[in-house]
Chain A
Amino acid sequence: QVQLVQSGAEVKKPGASVKVACETSGYAFTTYYIHWVRQAPGQGLEWMGVINPSRGTTFYVQKFQGRVSMTRDTSTSTVYMELSSLRSEDTAVYYCARGGSSSWYRDFDYWGQGTLVTVSS
């Protein structure tokens, strides 16, 4: 069955970086786009960007450009999201989610369990 399993919770100081892993299984890794979505405490969902695991190409929301990097490791079917220059407003649960196969303009049919990133001095 399709699974997206994320790395564990992180606590970081302002200005630091965090790298969250999303290990996938149960389907052909390079076939489906992987998106990243975050949710601040008690808030809604915010889309951060997407990666094509086949080519490694990415698209980032303008708000995060320059601070976010999405990469993948095809040997382990894992996607990574790194966010730098962390500030308190980045405290959130970060989710990876599977998108479409032929286009990233698709709904998200499977989600990781989420990774809580806390930014605090």
Chain B
Amino acid sequence: EVVLTQSPGTLSLSPGERATLSCRASQTVSSSYLAWYQQKPGQAPRLVIYGASSRATGIPDRFSGSGSGTDFTLSISRLEPEDVAVYFCQQHATSPLTFGGGTKVEI
């Protein structure tokens, strides 16, 4: 099983600051099979990034993804109040599909 470790657990920033979220895999994951999801309180997760670096439909361009191998990053260039959420990474390359533990972004 591929274990995804996200850090930090909580990120507290001010509006307009840059947020950098990390996702580290226990074994190599093809970039095509790494996704990021945003989950706001009381809501279902929403796809933000797929294929490690492609923005999903309707996602603002302040969100970007990068990385390869075992280290992946989600960046939010200018934090907005509506970006407050928990962000999960997911690998869907090998079974079982797994998620990271999440990073909570606070303002």
Contact = CB atoms under 8 A, between A and B. Distances in A.
B47 A107 contact: yes
B67 interface: no
Interface string A64-97: 0000000000000000000000000000000101
Interface size class of A (residues with CB under 8 A): 20 to 34
A16 interface: no
Given A44-B88, A107-B92, A114 B44 contact: yes
Q: Interface SS of chain A: helix, strand, loop or mixed?
A: loop
B98 to A, nearest CB: 7
B46 interface: yes
A59 B95 contact: yes
Q: Interface SS of chain B: helix, strand, loop or mixed?
A: loop
Given A45-B45, A95-B44, A109 B56 contact: yes
Contacts of A35: 97
Contacts of B97: 35, 47, 105
A106 B92 CA distance: 6
Contacts of A112: 44
Interface stretch (B19-27, B75-83, B99-107): B99-107
Interface residues of B, number: 24
B88 A105 contact: no
Nearest to A46: B99
A113 interface: yes
B85 interface: no
B99 A47 contact: yes
Contacts of A45: 37, 45, 88, 90, 99, 102
A105 B44 contact: no
A113 B44 contact: yes
Contacts of A97: 45
A44 B99 CA distance: 8
Interface of B: 33, 35, 37, 44-47, 50-51, 56-57, 88, 90, 92-102
Given A44-B88, A45-B45, A114-B44, 13 more contacts: A44-B102, A45-B37, A47-B99, A61-B96, A97-B45, A105-B33, A105-B95, A107-B35, A107-B50, A107-B51, A108-B35, A109-B57, A112-B44
